[in-house]
Chains A and B, each alone.
Chain A
């Protein structure tokens, strides 16, 4: 697909904060009853996660997102994946989106490895047939062999990570969204995982990778954007990363 693109215009995203208190119906009713008084605090219960973000990406762009914790990187990735709706502005994405934000998505510890691969594939939008076609390849890559017929709860943490990684990366994507470069398992598997991710990135038209690791971003990205308090810097060339960080 050559016309892969991401376009965000004046994107703003706000989180209403529903505290433990606010979630109770009693408080809500009390709020209605006392009218404006408590209502005046209403404005403070929203956190602005992203404000006025503009972003244009086309095929071949490998964008690194850098910024402190809570600067809005993950929120932006979730918005790009379609999970969060913008409050203002727009997001337009052309191409199949694959979001590798949380490897454990949809993993059920009581189900077998095979069942989890199927479930994960279905959530990612594959049909039952497509999942079955890929099952062998995923199974082989995971290296878990006969363990795949056992419940995931019997796996070690490393084995679980292998399974999750193998299942999550068995997708075809034009737009790949990643929260941190996921390197999992023992040294051998990390090498394999690394190669598989690189292939996935090569196939994808666009990569958006959020990371704190400057060296990692230099390695995989050709563009970089710094986020701070929900405000994004202009997209710059990765060569100017040092200047961007100093700014």
Chain B
């Protein structure tokens, strides 16, 4: 069911036409962003129906993990607790957003099979649904970040505009990755497992649970070539009173451009087929 009162669908008419149709899908999804938001809210509410704390359960378990890792590992790394806990807290909360948005991206189209096969809803709507759902959950977890920053006395010195800028970069990049895995997972059912392995490995390779400045100079490349490191640092560094390295922004901007270019052309080429994959 489409709100539009005119619909024209044709066979393939070349690359340019396919790109235009993909762009139209994107435009309609933005015009109807309200629908994506309703679906996202519905997801959050229905997942935690019957529970009193709802998404705050995840917040609570994150809090415990932060407490455990922050205190214990802080001791192991010999970093003062007031320095280490904020690092881990901001890291776990925002990196959690990155990994769940990507992991749940695998289900974006698979889960929407019923709707996609009998309505003309834009496919992008379901990508936004996944991203918005995770943003709503993040909204709950951010409480931890606030509490920890206040406790550590970092809240006054934090550079919020820079963190907001970094967060925008983060969301733009996570969204294309989420859409990429959504398309590929619809076609190849091995992908969700592979994605889960990659995000899990990324959580270890990225300084989420360990201080990035502890890495020896000769292993520095592990950070520089890790896109997740730049994603995380752009948000975390300004919040804990550190500066973002300028080349991180360059990496993130390039990643967003190339990533969205890649995903959009993949979408333009597979848009007609996705519903048949399901």
Contact = CB atoms under 8 A, between A and B. Distances in A.
Nearest to B12: A87
A70 to B, nearest CB: 16
Contact of B7 (A24, A78, A82, A119): A82
A171 B119 CA distance: 14
B136 to A, nearest CB: 16
A18 B187 contact: yes
Contact of A115 (B3, B42, B272): B42
Interface in B1-37: 1-3, 5-12, 34-35
B220 interface: no
B1 A98 contact: yes
Contact of A81 (B46, B120, B191, B271): B120
A90 interface: yes
Nearest to A4: B5
B114 A28 contact: no
A211 interface: no
A171 B3 CA distance: 11
A197 interface: no
B11 A102 contact: no
A16 B273 CA distance: 8
B276 interface: yes
Nearest to B184: A25
A24 B185 CA distance: 10
B8 A99 contact: no
A26 interface: yes
A79 interface: yes
Contacts of B119: 81-83, 99, 105, 123
B242 interface: no
Nearest to A6: B7
A90 B118 contact: no
A118 B37 CA distance: 13
Contacts of B12: 87
B8 A119 contact: no
Nearest to B3: A125
Which of B1, B7, B12, B49 has the most chain A CB atoms inside 10 A of its CB?
B1
B9 A85 contact: yes
Nearest to B21: A85
Contacts of B190: 24-26
Interface string A104-133: 011010110001001100111101100000
Contacts of B197: none
A245 interface: no
Contact of B9 (A15, A25, A86, A110): A86
A228 interface: no
A111 B9 contact: no
A180 interface: no
B8 A90 contact: yes
Contacts of A125: 1-3
Nearest to B6: A94
A92 B1 contact: no
Given A28-B188, A99-B118, A91 B7 contact: yes
Contacts of A61: none
Contacts of B11: 12, 85-90
A154 B191 CA distance: 36
B175 interface: no
A96 B34 contact: no
A23 B42 contact: no
A102 B113 CA distance: 12
A83 B275 contact: yes
B118 A18 contact: no
A26 B272 CA distance: 24
A96 B9 contact: no
A87 B12 CA distance: 7
Contacts of A123: 1, 35, 115, 119, 121
Given A82-B120, A91-B8, A125-B3, 5 more contacts: A87-B272, A95-B5, A96-B2, A105-B118, A108-B42
18 contacts: A18-B187, A23-B187, A25-B188, A82-B120, A83-B116, A83-B275, A85-B272, A87-B272, A89-B11, A91-B7, A92-B8, A94-B5, A97-B7, A111-B49, A119-B42, A123-B1, A125-B3, A127-B34
Nearest 8 CB-CB pairings of A with B: A82-B120, A125-B3, A85-B272, A90-B10, A88-B11, A25-B188, A25-B190, A93-B7
